[in-house]
């Protein structure tokens, strides 16, 4: 099949970017989207041009490294699919595909389609953990975990930290990402002692880093490649409210 690409090219963080058009002939519908970019890059390099920079690693939808806007949607048109899992068979022969980096104040462009998502690490550092040192854990079965909570915690924990939720959101809110971690740990008995502290610190960090607030448009869930449910945002809001009440009572 033949396709036309319009790809955002930007030399570095400070340069002005622009779209550049590329015509690609004889690509196979079996190719993954990133293999198609590899193919284009091979051609660019052979011509002595600068190849397109993008992040990727596992190429099987689990590491969260890849991610780009494809035809106006984070990770492209398929539901619950990361960019690396997307294949050209999802596009029609002869189509034009527009490819851009994440657009979010908190994710500055590094080069071309590569962005800086350190902000997500910073949110986790602010409280996305259970404070237990190696060696001090009790026997694993000494604290029963009801199956429902454990399964639900798992659903939240599936987040791969790709940042699509914030990129999809018109407010650049990272609520879904934060809610997923807060919920995972709040649902498990081991995470409860720190739950109040955790949610407050993480939400504050998110605000400080320039992510916007949530106005319940739910575009995050639609574009989340792991289908993280917005119900976790509600759960986080409850945790946040609970923490506030406890704090003011303590005062």
Partner 1 sequence: MIKFDSKIPSGPLTEKWETYKTGLKLVSPANRKKLDVIVVGTGLAGASAASSLGELGYNVKVFCFQDTPRRAHSVAAQGGTNAAKNYKNDGDSVYRLFLDTIKGGDYRSREANVYRAAEVSNKVIDHYTALGVPFAHDYGGMLDTRSFGGVQVSRTFYAKGQTGQQCLLGSYSSLSRQVEKGTVTMYSRREMIDLVVIDGQARGIIARNLITGELERHSAHTVVLATGGYGTVFYLSTLALGSNPMAAWSAHKKGALFANPSFIQIHPTSVPVLNEYQSKLTLMSESLRNDGRVWVPKAKDDNRHPNEIPEEERDYYLERQYPAYGNLVPRDVGSRAAKERCDAGYGVGDTGLAVYLDFKDAINKQGKAAIKDKYGNLFEMYEKITGIIPYDEPMKIYPAGHYTMGGLWVDYNLMTTIPGLYAIGESNFSDHGANRLGANSLMQCSGDGYFILPYTIADYLADEIATPRIPTDTAEFDKAEKDVKERIDRLVNIKGSETATSFHRRLGKILWDYCGMIRNEEGLLKGSQLLKELEEEFYKELAIPGTGYELNQELEKALRVETFFEIGHLMIQDALNRKESCGAHFREESQTETGETLRIDEEYAYVAAWEYKGPDKKHIMHKEDLNFEFVELKQRSYK
Site for ligand FES in 46-85 (CB under 6 A): 56-59, 61-66, 82-84
Pairing of strands 96-100, 114-115: unpaired
Per-residue mark of binding to partner 1, 4-33 (x: CB under 8 A): --------x---------------x-xxx-
The CA distances from residue 161 to 12, 28, 73, 177, 204, in Å, are: 23, 30, 17, 7, 19
Exactly one of 130, 171, 221, 237 binds partner 1 (CB under 8 A); that residue is 130
How far apart CA 77 and CA 82 sit, in angstroms, is 10
Decide which of ligand FES, ligand SF4, partner 1, none touches 113; Cβ closer than 5 to 8 Å per partner kind.
none
Instruction: Decide whether 182 or 214 has the Cβ nearer to partner 1.
Output: 182
Bridge partners of 98, per DSSP, are: 6
- Contact criterion met (CB below 8 Å) for 134 and 33: no
Q: Strands across the sheet with 69-70, in order?
A: 18-24, 3-9, 96-100, 69-70, 73-74
DSSP conformation letters of 161-196: ---HHHHH-TT---HHHHHHHHHHHHHSGGGGGGHH
Q: Does 117 contact ligand SF4 by CB under 6 A?
A: no
Instruction: Decide whether 64 or 127 has the Cβ nearer to ligand FES.
Output: 64
Decide which of partner 1, ligand SF4, ligand FES, none touches 165; Cβ closer than 5 to 8 Å per partner kind.
ligand SF4
Exactly one of 85, 100, 223, 239 binds partner 1 (CB under 8 A); that residue is 85
Q: Does 164 contact ligand SF4 by CB under 6 A?
A: yes
Residue range at the interface with ligand SF4 (CB under 6 A); choices 7-15, 133-141, 204-212, 220-228: 220-228
């Amino acid at each position: 099949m033949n396709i036309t690409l319009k790809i955002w090219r930007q030399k570095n963080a400070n340069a002005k970017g622009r779209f550049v058009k590329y015509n690609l002939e004889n690509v196979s519908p079996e190719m993954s989207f990133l293999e198609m970019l590899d193919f284009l890059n091979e051609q660019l390099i052979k011509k002595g041009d600068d190849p397109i920079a993008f992040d990727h690693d596992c190429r099987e939808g689990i590491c969260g490294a890849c991610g780009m806007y494809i035809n106006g949607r984070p990770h492209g048109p398929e539901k619950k699919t990361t960019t690396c899992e997307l294949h050209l068979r999802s596009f029609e022969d002869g189509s034009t595909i527009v490819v851009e980096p994440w657009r979010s104040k908190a994710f500055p462009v590094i080069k071309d389609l590569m962005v800086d998502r350190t902000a997500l690490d910073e949110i986790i550092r602010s409280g996305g953990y259970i404070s237990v040192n190696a060696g001090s854990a009790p026997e694993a079965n000494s604290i029963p975990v009801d199956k429902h909570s454990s399964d639900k915690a798992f659903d939240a924990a599936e987040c791969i930290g790709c940042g699509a939720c914030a990129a999809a959101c018109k407010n650049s809110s990272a609520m879904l990402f934060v809610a997923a971690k807060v919920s995972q740990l709040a649902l498990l008995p081991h995470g409860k002692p720190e739950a109040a502290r955790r949610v407050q610190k993480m939400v504050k960090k998110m605000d400080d880093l320039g992510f916007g607030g949530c106005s319940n448009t739910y575009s995050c869930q639609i574009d989340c490649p792991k289908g993280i449910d917005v119900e976790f945002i509600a759960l986080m809001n409850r945790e946040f409210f609970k923490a506030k009440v406890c704090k003011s009572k303590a005062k």
